[in-house]
Structure 1
Amino acid sequence: MQRISITIDDDLLAGIDALSELRGYSSRSEAVRDIVRERLVQEAGPKGEDMSCVAALSYVYEHETRELSKRLTATQHHHHDLSISTLHVHLSDADCLEVTVLKGKTSEVQAFADAVISQRGVRHGQLNIIPASEDGSAGEHD
């Protein structure tokens, strides 16, 4: 591990300290490392290296939208190699929340998420990608 020094303005440092306290980081260094890791994953995105990842796709949909449940299930079956598990929650008479855990290459995971989120009747969708080694481990905090 390398030790570096940075110059940072007071307001930005106050923000890091607030984030550290809010999330329970043991040090500023750990907070900064996580911020940088998160940004690197965001920047890699579709144009970056096609790395192995684990991901959580969460989305809210109107279960009575014509054939939507059937289309979502078909999408998951067509990508059975990516989908590890899905949690289904009834939010109201009209809405359901699903959280799907995925594992694979970032491009494949992103394509799967896009195919789900773009369906008519899916109101909200978010994909959280976490880089992983080939064996699926997501690494540890230092």
Structure 2
Amino acid sequence: MKRISLALDDKLYREIENAMSMVGETNRSRFIASIVAEKISEIVQRPMASIIVYVYDHEVGEVAKNVTEVQHEFRDVIRASTHIHLDDRNCLEVVHALGDSDRIRELVTRISRIGRGLKHLRVVNIPQLAEG
């Protein structure tokens, strides 16, 4: 492990402290390292695992049909998905993806472009750990 020094403006420092408090983290180094690792996993091309969570209103346009079509186009990286009904109109889906980071980013982009009816989209990327 390497120890580094980091200079932050006061506002960003306060935002980090507030965010740590909100998630119950007490170790600043671990908190910042996890944010950096998450950002790197978004830009570096390599195998990764992702959880893609989105909520949509199935009554709006053809959003349900479009979601299904996108999932079928990305069968090569989608390993599983779950679908639950939040209420009479809104559905929540969790997609588990594993594969090339560029392909998974393409999947997320396609989901985000579904447009009307898509209410929330969150992604967690985890770089695949090397064995050993």
Report the CA distance shift for 1:95/1:7 in structure 2 as closer, same or farther (over 3 A).
Answer: closer
Q: Which residue of structure 1 aligns with residue 46 of structure 2?
A: 51
CA contact (8 A) 1:41 1:129 kept: no
Deviations 1:50-91 (A, max 9, x none): 221111222222323455434422332232221122121212
Question: How far, CA to CA, are the matches of 1:40 and 1:104 in structure 2?
Answer: 16
What is the aligned partner in structure 1 of residue 59 from structure 2?
64
The answer as to 2:20 corresponding to 1:25 is no
Identical residues among aligned pairs (%): 27
| Unmatched segments (≥5 aa) in structure 1 | none
Moved more, 19-28 or 105-114: 19-28
- Using the alignment, how far apart are the partners of 2:66 and 2:10 within structure 1? 51
Q: What residue in structure 2 maps to residue 107 of structure 1?
A: 102
Amino acid in structure 1 at the alignment position of 2:21: E
Partner of 1:119 in structure 2? Answer: 114
Number of aligned residue pairs: give it: 131
1:89-123, Cα deviation, whole Å (9 max, x unpaired): 21222221212111111211122222233235432
Provide the aligned C-alpha RMSD in A. 2.9
Note if contact 1:55-1:127 (Cα within 8 Å) is conserved in structure 2. no
What residue ranges of structure 2 are gaps of 5+ in the alignment?
A: none
State the distance in 2 between where 1:65 and 1:129 align.
26
Structure-2-length-normalised TM-score: 0.74
Classify 1:127/1:105 alpha carbon distance in 2 versus 1 (closer, same or farther; 3 Å).
farther
